[in-house]
Structure 1
């Protein structure tokens, strides 16, 4: 394979060349990635040249920033690595931020904080802002402000014809609608302008229980009842995390199943609102407090080191406590034989409002997410039956939380959204150049 002549620095990387394996290193380590060519893109011109090169040779194109949500293994084709494209620029007057394709949310939070502004980021500061937003973007303030995709002003994207386009709701309403919700299936987004919200501080943290002292199903039921009473400005989640008994963990976590409720609230009376949760039972830890938004990543304290995991998600119409309790039983360490994490996100509020993008299932009441650290085959054996328990109340899956354990496209969109996406895909990528990503065709 020859290299595109207009991409000479930094060097294009082929298998076996120094730096090739390093360029493929990312957060999700379970998949084998062996593209025929890696393009370490520095700017939109590099991306444009790479897409043209791939299109001329009918090679599929994959996109990679941080590697948190890989859809599956990659063999052959061209992988565009955008992690070097990491410029952030905040305009406090218009309450917007411009980000390049490789920017991580932690950078945006830090850049916006001096102005008393915040992005609609997720729980982990190491996640890429662009990929997260293209998949919808379910953040820690989601019930108050909606999806991150709902706040995008414009996108710079290289489409399959090798054109760099600036896309706005006015310039191309169809492509704008499709990009925000379809992930990387329609092109390589090299940057975007996103609205910020005026949040300087919040009330948040985690209330954790030891699963040996308080039945996880009891916490789940109390949580579901509590969510019926909370204001729209409060976003929360429930999680059950079984920790292995290993020296690498703090002593208070080793061998425990920690059940927690995580909270982010921008309004008053935080302590009063969470009081019913504190009455559930003996508390293992309580980090709920007023905090600057720049510390919001401590609410979830997501792992910041690369590791192997597979998972999937189900947007459900309601939180059927009985069914989810059975899921907790099946994914517990004794039944599953592997570490499985179950998280339930409370939806509704601003997430249920219509927006000019393709983020589906806005009528959903909750999102159930499951991850396992087993290999992929074992992950399917554990997770598929667990999700089957939820089938009667499941509307579909969430693209940002489909971590390679299931089909690349099934259930990611309702029928009407999928049909419209397929039509737009056929116009902008008729040869399915971006087939290495989650699919929207058919």
Structure 2
């Protein structure tokens, strides 16, 4: 049990904000983008720099208190209960080297800030569907980019990172220095330490063609069948996805689409208008679109492809990796989520993998999913009166799709982590056993036990 002297000792050791539950700034400091997740730590540290993170972890380790970390809270699947929560949103270092094509960012930097610094220099980074997401949490979870089929997972392109391990030590690691820890941090999420800075590769920006086509939901069977036939015709430079959307009557939805069931085709392609139009032509002919925004795009407007909500929402999600998206898979999905179903979910999404996502990078990492063909991702509102229905629908769709699944997930799309066996599905068995050995070595007291955490066991040797 913490006493005032403990809190005072933490305050004296750091330059950042320290708050307890009855402090005025506690709610703001613990707030997550997923507002359904309400953190209740014993104390929260708003770290001002990496030294604060190290001091906070050391303080917690001395008191055998568990430690959690949050930057933006987009990945806040489960609430923190007790212990020390370290928020890293103030770590805003951002350095771009246009010659080496690298970026160095602090743990609080969002992808939007990276793009605003790189796009004017003709460079892009491997962000996901929303640039409001924090760079570090996304990347150490593997990172599935908008242009993933062209470039692979974001974790493949990490050059180095700085992190604080459970002993309070601030380390710089890369493929040569503490190589096993570096490998497992690239895709292993936050199991071995708190990342304070990340260095990664950037990519040249040429012509960019992107946007989406929104169709009536009544044509979902025709559109998904056409989508399945269309995919093999695409080059790796084209990264599409498709989603069934039940759009609420809320401000983040464009007025013409509110309270409608629609199919949303998303498309990102590094190429010319002529080539992009030619690639999309078969899908434009399938149905009469309600909206078509695909075309040459300023890369700074890339969020318009997926149109993810920009404001915090209460949500629940879940995902699975699929072996195929054949007729039977489509039929099983539409039975539970198509026209006429009582599916309450905001989003039922299929993201094709393959291309560079299947090949892997030059360095070893802990990313899963390279043997999968598709990602299924489900999102529902997690608030009354639909919360229970959303979570029940996620469970029922994942159960129905299990015969079409590889049995594994991507950790950033896993949803609420369950028991140890469920958590293990985010990695291959071989990688998972290496992670357990590393956990026992770097975090023997299991301080980092929140979120998608695993438990450690001594290695066989």
Give the alignment partner of residue 431 of structure 2, picking from 402, 417, 436. 417
Equivalent-residue separation in structure 2 for 1:410 and 1:373 (angstroms): 26
Change (3 A) 1:314 1:253: same
- Residue 191 of structure 1 aligns to a residue whose secondary structure is strand
Equivalent-residue separation in structure 1 for 2:53 and 2:260 (angstroms): 46
Q: Contact 2:14/2:56 (CA < 8 Å) preserved in 1?
A: no
Equivalent-residue separation in structure 2 for 1:74 and 1:325 (angstroms): 39
Give the alignment partner of residue 233 of structure 2, picking from 229, 243, 248. 229
Give the alignment partner of residue 397 of structure 2, picking from 363, 383, 386. 386
Equivalent-residue separation in structure 2 for 1:118 and 1:308 (angstroms): 30
Q: Contact 1:311/1:404 (CA < 8 Å) preserved in 2?
A: yes
Q: Contact 2:32/2:38 (CA < 8 Å) preserved in 1?
A: no
Equivalent-residue separation in structure 1 for 2:258 and 2:298 (angstroms): 30
Q: Contact 2:252/2:310 (CA < 8 Å) preserved in 1?
A: no
Equivalent-residue separation in structure 1 for 2:299 and 2:250 (angstroms): 33
Equivalent-residue separation in structure 2 for 1:14 and 1:334 (angstroms): 49
- Unpaired runs of 5+ residues, structure 2, are 457-461
Change (3 A) 1:171 1:303: same
Residue matched to 2:442: 428
Equivalent-residue separation in structure 2 for 1:348 and 1:412 (angstroms): 18
Q: Contact 2:97/2:103 (CA < 8 Å) preserved in 1?
A: yes
Residue matched to 1:68: 74
Change (3 A) 1:343 1:47: same
Q: Contact 1:6/1:49 (CA < 8 Å) preserved in 2?
A: no
Change (3 A) 1:299 1:247: closer
- Alignment deviations for residues 318-373 of structure 1 (CA, whole Å, 9 cap, x no partner): 11343344323323586446333101101000011133100012111110100111
Change (3 A) 1:225 1:380: same
- Residue 271 of structure 2 aligns to a residue whose secondary structure is coil
Residue matched to 1:273: 279
Residue matched to 1:367: 375
Equivalent-residue separation in structure 2 for 1:143 and 1:339 (angstroms): 27
Q: Contact 1:118/1:197 (CA < 8 Å) preserved in 2?
A: yes
Equivalent-residue separation in structure 2 for 1:148 and 1:276 (angstroms): 30
Note the 1:289-300 alignment, pairs <5 A.
Answer: 289-300=295-306
Q: Contact 1:96/1:193 (CA < 8 Å) preserved in 2?
A: yes
Task: Select between 24-33 and 175-184 the one with higher mean Cα deviation.
Answer: 24-33
- Residue 208 of structure 2 aligns to a residue whose secondary structure is strand
Q: CA deviation at 1:285?
A: 0.8
Equivalent-residue separation in structure 1 for 2:309 and 2:336 (angstroms): 24
Q: Contact 1:331/1:340 (CA < 8 Å) preserved in 2?
A: no
- Residue 305 of structure 1 aligns to a residue whose secondary structure is coil
Q: CA deviation at 1:291?
A: 1.5
- Unpaired runs of 5+ residues, structure 1, are none
- Residue 12 of structure 1 aligns to a residue whose secondary structure is strand
TM-score, L = length of structure 2:
0.91
What is the RMSD computed on CA atoms of the aligned residues?
1.8
Equivalent-residue separation in structure 2 for 1:343 and 1:337 (angstroms): 13
Equivalent-residue separation in structure 2 for 1:237 and 1:248 (angstroms): 20
Give the alignment partner of residue 438 of structure 1, picking from 452, 456, 459. 452
Equivalent-residue separation in structure 1 for 2:253 and 2:186 (angstroms): 38
TM-score, L = length of structure 1:
0.95
Q: CA deviation at 1:252?
A: 1.3
Question: How many matched pairs?
Answer: 440
Task: Select between 95-104 and 20-29 the one with higher mean Cα deviation.
Answer: 20-29
Task: Select between 292-301 and 124-133 the one with higher mean Cα deviation.
Answer: 292-301
Residue matched to 2:43: 37
Change (3 A) 1:81 1:246: closer
Residue matched to 2:459: none
